[in-house]
Structure 1
Amino acid sequence: MKKLIFLFILFTTIVKLEAQQSETLTAEQMQEDINYYFDFLKNNHPNLYLKYSPAQYDSLQQETIKKCTLPLTHQAFNKVLFDLNCYFDGHTRIQSNYLWGNNKSFYFPYFRILNDSLFLNNEIIQTVNNMDMKEVIRDIEKGASSWENHPNFNETRVNLYTSLYLSTFYNIKPPYYLQLKNTQTNKIYVDTIAERKPTADFNLPFQFKFYPEESIAILFYNSCALSEEAQKGLKKALDIAFKKIKKLKIKYLFIDLRLNEGGSIMNNELIFNYLKSKKYVSTLHVKANIHTIPQAIAELQERNRLYLEKNKSNFWKTFKMKRLIKKLNKKIPSVLSTGIDVLKEKIPANRRGFKEKVFVIQGRKTFSAAVKFTLATKQQQVGLIVGEEGGGPVCFSADGTCYDLPNSKISFSCPGTYAWQTPEIPTKNGFLQPDIKYDVFGKTLEIEDYKKIIQLSKALEEQ
């Protein structure tokens, strides 16, 4: 009976989605949604004009409206808006609520994008089922990429969407017939890629692995987006694992962030509690949209009032809060005019944490809160960064929330703050550089890889 109920709910959900996709939106409804989106970002985004000027966004807004002068389905309108993503930072995105319908993702081999060409090993992909792939990729890049992301991260997103785009917008499904050109011989030939299940990324949020005989432990930290239950699981796992690390006298700890695309930086702190670190003092600058400041101040003042009311019988708590409120009130005029709050940040040293060598492995998928993990590793001198450049810069707009457009109900995300610290940690074009460059993308690292990284670190110390 439960199975029948589940199937009925699934069927009605699919029917409802299909109905919404086929429903048309009027030009007036779409114009209202487009204006709502751009106005919302202007009034809420903390650092919207980092790349493009207000005039450029106004022009983009009008161009988008011109594409919607006739009624469109939810799916077609979602595609128009999705194509805007390349013009915004990595945390400001139109979602794909109505894009895919019943189409599913098929296996397609990972390809590199270099100088507008698609490389599959030593071959250039020219067409797929007689469709020019350069045209397809240019289409995908509009929605999948962001000007802020590392090109390698954008490449992974393009690969993620390729089969969905082929099936949804080009009616191309497996088997795929690829016209390839060999870069060494210039020979052109056709190869077939039959449908098969992709090798899934390891999707547990965290897991430990031990090589006691080599004195090596690995923490696969695959996500900073943890539920309350998962947080409790991580705390428990860390406690058990570090007791085992101590018992086994582990000398080398690897923390693998290659699959970690972010979440909450608060979960990072659970791990840093177990790692030896040095004191770090900095000045933290937090920028918000000036239109949001008055409400934020009012909410903070109300929380402070409730705290004082609750603790009015406690002299010491009341005294400390009143002193803090006095300091905050002095800053209000400056914050109201600039939208920037300046704070002194002092992170104490952790002398009781793991005292041996720590290696943090980053890759092109390392993004958002996971990048903040690598940044804190450098700031607090916890260990060495290994691998390649991460997927996002160390400074970015964050603390995002999802919203819905009023008519189409298409979802979009908008960050709330933009933060940076001084003194700055050295970067290249905003991206944190590895101390030890090592080929880690798409590889299952074996014990020999870890041993080689250890040897490279010793050579680095001797320089």
Structure 2
Amino acid sequence: MKKLIFLFILFTAIVKLEAQQSDTLTAAQMREDINYYFDFLKNNHPNLYLKYSPAQYDSLQQALLKQCTSSLSRKDFNRQLLLLNQYTDGHTGITWTEIKHSSFFYFPYFTLRNDSCFLGNELIQTVNNRNIKEIISEIKKGYSWENHPLSNEARINKAFPILLSFYYQIDPPYFIQLKNRKTGEIHVNTIPIKKVASNKDPIFQFKFYPEESIALLFYNACLIPGNSEDFFEKALKKACFQMKEQKIQYLFIDVRVNGGGNSRANELIFKHLKSKKYKGTYYCKVNPHTISIKEAKKTNQEYLKKNGTNFWKRYKIKKRIKRLERKIPYYCSTGIDSLSEIIPANKKGFEGKVFVIQSRMTYSAAADFCTSVKQRNIGLLIGEECGSPVRYPGNLQKGTLPHSKIGFVYPEIYLWYNPEVPSKNGFLQPDIRYDVFGKTLKIEDYKKIIRLSNTLEKHNPELD
């Protein structure tokens, strides 16, 4: 029995030692992970060099490899790799694999100018005696250059209390030193301990105000699970029937907190909204290394076999395949394919006016929803600029580094349309600017937006 107990204690000690050792990465392991990440992006990312050149990426890779001179914990290596996110697009980057957190603490929303933080008219100088500029400088580097600056500001605000604790061991209560920009007066303010609920918004939710002839659809995520599509469609049909019965004239679709998902969910909504015909060209770019001509030809032949059920159909399919195969050399060298598309007008659907409320957190497939609203002339965009640009990567995939097991994400395709919707610095503009971010809109806000739209349409009849 004593021998068994001794063996059990020895086994437990070995397991603990292995666990401690596995949390530490050698310099060689980190170098292999860094090389893996850069090589993977070179061979799989559809548009990696949108901002930075191959030479700049190579220089960045070599600089990072030179820093690997001694062992690091997974947590510290994760922290180091997150700094790479400033060089990639908003759909590419290292994830917070090793940054574990179970609760959120309140810190007042601050605005950013470079690395300086402001609360109203006051400059935040320190948090618990730590220079905040130094903290923000690091956290900012974890977010993409491609995102709208206000989108990154919101993301940094959300992450700030978590990373304060995880990186700097600063927990509430927070003592912040503030400097008044007008008077130069310096004082210390205390932010008491306050937990923030991390409840997620429902994917979609309807609200009706028949007495005001207004309906609201909170479309909070383009992530309708496959087995919930029928439920979503039934809910949309029911809501449209209710709007018709109640003679609703104004529909507000709120995508302020919608961070994206799948554009397929957008089309389920568009089926119930009147729209004009859209004609344009859809461009898709992939990494040439991922193209398999053999697989493409195999797919074409399988399609021919399945659908070429008579002479005339086989003739038409073969003609289309020949036209596609003539494009193969260009496609293989550039990875770019194009498709002319005509989306017919939808003459059935909601009879009233549609407003889409967007914000800095409207991202990816949600921003695409807003773009489609403009392309198909469905309604007016309200609020502020979207968080992601009109041209954006898609089909998000997940990867894992071989030694550290730190996760990363990357897109498979890069998309754009011609003609492009009007944008400024690449970001979709609202038709009516309105203060919507972080606000609980009241019925008076919706009525004010309606009045503003009437004024706008009086001066711009084509928007009607």
**How does the TM-score come out when normalised to structure 2?**
0.91
CA RMSD of aligned residues (A): 2.0
Corresponding residue for 1:285?
283
Alignment of 1:157-168 (within 5 A): 157-168=155-166
2:112 aligns with: 113
For residue 107 of structure 1, report the CA deviation from its aligned partner: 1.9
2:362 corresponds, among 348, 361, 366, to 366
Match of 1:442 among 420, 438, 445: 438
Aligned to 2:8: none
2:268 equivalent among 270, 295, 299: 270
Whole-angstrom CA distance in 2 between matches of 1:22 and 1:182: 49
Alignment partner, residue 250 of structure 2: 252
Is the partner of 2:216 in helix, strand or coil?
strand
Find the aligned partners of 1:67 and 1:230 in 2 and give their Cα distance. Answer: 48
Give the TM-score normalised by structure 1.
Answer: 0.91
Tell me the secondary structure at the aligned position of residue 357 of structure 2.
strand
Deviation for aligned residue 1:237: 1.1
Write the distance in 1 (CA, Å) between the matches of 2:330 and 2:55: 27
Contact 2:104 2:196 (8 Å CA) reproduced? no
Q: Cα deviations across residues 68-93 of structure 1 (Å, max 9, x unaligned)?
A: 22111111111111111011100011
| Residue number among 419, 423, 427 corresponding to 2:423 in the alignment | 427
Give the C-alpha shift of residue 414 in structure 1. 1.2
| Cα distance between partner residues in 1 of 2:183 and 2:209 | 45
> After alignment, is 316-325 or 175-184 more displaced?
316-325
Q: Which runs of 4+ in 1 moved over 6 A?
A: none
Q: Matched residues in 2 for 1:235 and 1:138: separation?
A: 45
Could you tell me which amino acid in structure 2 is paired with residue 167 of structure 1? S
1:125 aligns to what?
A: 124
Aligned counterparts of 2:158 and 2:141: Cα–Cα separation in 1: 14
| Aligned match of 1:211 | 209
Report whether the alignment pairs 1:60 with 2:60: yes
Residue matched to 2:137:
138
Q: How does 1:50-449 map to 2 (within 5 A)?
A: 50-100=50-100, 104-143=103-142, 145-198=143-196, 200=198, 203-293=201-291, 295=292, 297-310=293-306, 318=314, 320-449=316-445
Deviations 1:58-115 (A, max 9, x none): 1110111122221111111111111110111000110111123x56432222111124
1:314 to partner: Cα distance: 6.1
1:315 to partner: Cα distance: 6.0
After TM superposition, give the deviation of residue 375 of structure 1 in Å: 0.5
Distance 2:159 2:21 in 1: 19
Does the CA-based 8 Å contact 2:384-2:429 persist in structure 1? yes
**Which secondary structure does the structure 2 equivalent of 1:354 belong to?**
coil
Residue in 1 that maps onto 2:3: none
State whether residues 95 and 407 of structure 2, in contact with CA within 8 Å, keep that contact through their aligned partners in structure 1. Answer: yes
Compared CA separation, residues 98 and 206, structure 1 to 2 (3 A)? same
CA contact (8 A) 1:287 1:418 kept: yes
User: Aligned in 2, Cα 1:351/1:103: closer, same or farther, shift over 3 Å?
Assistant: closer
Q: Which residue of 1 aligns with 2:9?
A: none
Cα contact 1:111–1:119 (8 A) shared by 2 = yes
In the aligned structure 1, how far is the partner of 2:187 from the partner of 2:123? Answer: 11
Q: Which amino acid aligns with 2:117?
A: L
Inter-partner Cα distance in structure 2 for 1:420 and 1:183? 43
Provide the secondary structure at the position in 1 that maps to 2:171. Answer: coil
- TM superposition shift of 1:176: 0.9
Residues 432/292 of structure 1: CA separation in 2 closer, same or farther (3 Å cut): same
In the TM superposition, what is the alpha-carbon distance from 1:289 to its structure 2 partner? 1.2
Maintained 8 Å contact 1:43/1:289? yes
Aligned position for 1:451: 447
2:288 is paired with a residue of what secondary structure?
coil
For 1:461 and 1:401, locate their aligned partners in 2 and report how far apart those are by CA, in whole Å.
42
Contact 1:126 1:132 in 2 (8 A): yes
| Deviations 1:32-64, CA, capped at 9 Å, x for gaps | 111111111111111111111111111110111
Q: CA deviation at 1:226?
A: 2.2
Q: Deviations over 1:238-267 (max 9, x none)?
A: 011001111111110110010001111111
Contact 2:104 2:195 (8 Å CA) reproduced: no
Runs of at least 5 residues in structure 2 that lack an aligned partner in the other structure = 1-14, 460-464
Aligned counterparts of 2:113 and 2:310: Cα–Cα separation in 1: 65
Are the structure 2 counterparts of residues 19 and 439 from structure 1 closer, same or farther at C-alpha, using a change threshold of 3 Å? farther
Please name the residue that 2:11 is paired with: none
Larger radius of gyration between Structure 1 and Structure 2 = 2
Deviation at 1:308, TM superposition (A): 4.1
Cα gap change, 1:244/1:300 in structure 2, threshold over 3 Å: closer, same or farther? farther
* Residues 103 and 168 in structure 1, CA contact (< 8 A), matched pair in contact too: no
Distance 1:20 1:355, change over 3 A: farther
Equivalent residues, number: 444
Does 254-263 or 35-44 show the bigger shift? Answer: 35-44
